[in-house]
Amino acid sequence: MIAAQRFNQDEQLQIDGIVTTGNFWQFAKLKAKIFTMETVDYSALENINKLLNILNWIVFNAKNRISL
């Protein structure tokens, strides 16, 4: 995430991060020097709708930030 922030040369640009084992997913964001990690792990087997909604939200917001 830090590498993406440096590549974009804009610390104010929010960088979203996802870590997964395939079954469990965690989400985080980095803006400026503030790193925020979701405290909830999402299970793809138990919460697939919630997981897909989160992924959709991340992509939607990333597209909006790019087009600004």
Reported as a single tens digit per residue, the pLDDT across 21-63 is: 989 999 999 999 999 999 999 999 998 999 999 999 999 988 8
Number of domains in the chain: 1
Quote the pTM value.
0.80
With a CB cutoff of 8 Å and minimum separation 6, the contacts of 18 are 25, 26, 27, 28, 55, 58
Over the chain, what is the mean pLDDT? 91
pLDDT beyond 70 at 10: yes
List the domain range (segments joined by +) for residue 54: 2-67
CA distance 34 to 17: 13
